[in-house]
Structure 1
Amino acid sequence: MSRSQCARCLRPQTHCLCPLIPSLDSRTRVLLLQHPSEVNHALNTARLAALGLNNAELIVGEVFEDLPQRLNQPGYQARLLFPADDAQPLQVYAPSDQPLLLVVPDGTWRKARKILHLNPLLAALPRVTLAEGAVSRYRLRKAPGPGALSTVEAIVQALQVLEAPTSFELLLKPFEALIEGQIAAMGEETYQRNHGG
């Protein structure tokens, strides 16, 4: 017997996050390019970000045929949020006269790199990066390194820089509820054994 699912947040109806998802405005346009393997992931944080931001769009795929049109948004300068040696810190753009179209690949690091490889136009975009040393609230996985954030956390951090003093912390409310729910489902003892200090 399958559990009924919320059509909006894709969570089981009994664990729907919609009441916690805000409706936030931003000057920055966020384009999330999600690898198909992430769509049914229990912690689909890119979807939470797209639902919570009025100026965001989530597209699922590996190759994006309409990328030239999507990147050429009048009034926006497109930047890829992805590490690189020549990536500029987001502080360079804040506050900017021209808002950014922030392109965010969503998937494991390997899958995100594959999206870039399959879409040369994307790989050619100027890259921006977050400040170093951010600590993830994603307590259910071992981060591959310092500063490794979930997609929604990276977007919140980017918007906090680009649109200061506006706060985007409300975007993290459904994410934190999701984490708490996962911990509750596995039980405190299991959580401590697998993820505790």
Structure 2
Amino acid sequence: MPRPSCPRCQRPESHCLCPLIPHLASRTRVLLLQHPSEVGHALNTARLAALGLANAELRVGERFDDLDALLADGACRPCLLFPGEGARPLAEVAAADPRPLLLVVPDGTWRKARKLLHVNPELAALPRVTLPEGRVSRYRLRKAPMPGALSTLEAVVAALEIAESPTRFDALLRPFEALIQGQIEAMGEETFRRNHDKAERPG
């Protein structure tokens, strides 16, 4: 029989993260587009971001037929948080115009995220922004797939702190840290050390 789960954070009731999830305001609007394969992932960090931000929305799917409507916000400047040719530093884009950003964030493995861009041409057409190099993920369960790879939640926090400096958004990371620590304790220190040496995916 499955354990009862919290309907909000979707964690087992005995490990509910809701008391740790903040409710933060932001000028930046965040649109999280999650590949369906991520929904059941233990570290569903896009969901944590959506729950913790008042001005965030989480959509799940591969093809988003209403994407034009989602992006049609004249008060905000849409941009895609994803590396690629022509991507500009987020700080540079944020400083170029006083209007707030609409930050579109694909959520999935690198392969799945690229697929989202492929099947949604509206995404591929957006101006791309990137974070500064050299950031280190707090995702300690497995090794990052490449230098500077962050979980979706970590990337959103970093992006907001750049776009809305000096406002801090690191309170969003509290449930993320608790989730990771709980999984490390559940698997045991020896298993954690063994798994930590294996290759990994972004979250």
TM-score > 0.5, shorter chain as reference = yes
State how 1:121-140 maps to structure 2 within 5 Å: 121-140=122-141
Cα contact 2:9–2:17 (8 A) shared by 1: yes
Q: Distance in 2 between matches of 1:33 and 1:129?
A: 17
* Corresponding residue of 1:148: 149
Note the C-alpha offset of 1:141: 1.7
Which string of whole-angstrom CA distances, capped at 9 and with x for unpartnered residues, describes residues 137-170 of structure 1?
0001221111100000000000010000000000
Q: Distance in 2 between matches of 1:63 and 1:193?
A: 38
* Corresponding residue of 1:167: 168
Note the C-alpha offset of 1:195: 1.2
How many matched pairs?
Answer: 197
State how 1:49-68 maps to structure 2 within 5 Å: 49-68=49-68
Task: For residue 104 of structure 2, give the secondary structure of its aligned residue in structure 1.
Answer: strand
Note the C-alpha offset of 1:196: 6.2
* Corresponding residue of 1:113: 114
* Corresponding residue of 2:71: 71
* Corresponding residue of 1:81: 81
Which string of whole-angstrom CA distances, capped at 9 and with x for unpartnered residues, describes residues 95-146 of structure 1?
4410000000000000000000000011110000000010000001221111
Task: For residue 101 of structure 1, give the secondary structure of its aligned residue in structure 2.
Answer: strand
* Corresponding residue of 2:201: none
Note the C-alpha offset of 1:193: 2.3
Task: For residue 146 of structure 2, give the secondary structure of its aligned residue in structure 1.
Answer: coil
Q: Distance in 2 between matches of 1:93 and 1:108?
A: 26
Q: Distance in 2 between matches of 1:65 and 1:39?
A: 19
User: Structure 1 length as normaliser, TM-score?
Assistant: 0.97
Q: Is 1:13–2:17 an aligned residue pair?
A: no
Q: Is 1:27–2:27 an aligned residue pair?
A: yes
Unpaired runs of at least 5, structure 2: 199-203
Query: What amino acid sits opposite 1:88 in the alignment?
Result: R
Query: What amino acid sits opposite 1:59 in the alignment?
Result: R
Identity across the alignment (%) = 70
* Corresponding residue of 2:3: 3
Q: Distance in 1 between matches of 2:69 and 2:195?
A: 45
Cα contact 2:142–2:197 (8 A) shared by 1: no
Unpaired runs of at least 5, structure 1: none
Q: Which region of structure 1 is more displaced relative to structure 2, 95-104 or 130-139?
A: 95-104
Q: Distance in 2 between matches of 1:180 and 1:158?
A: 24
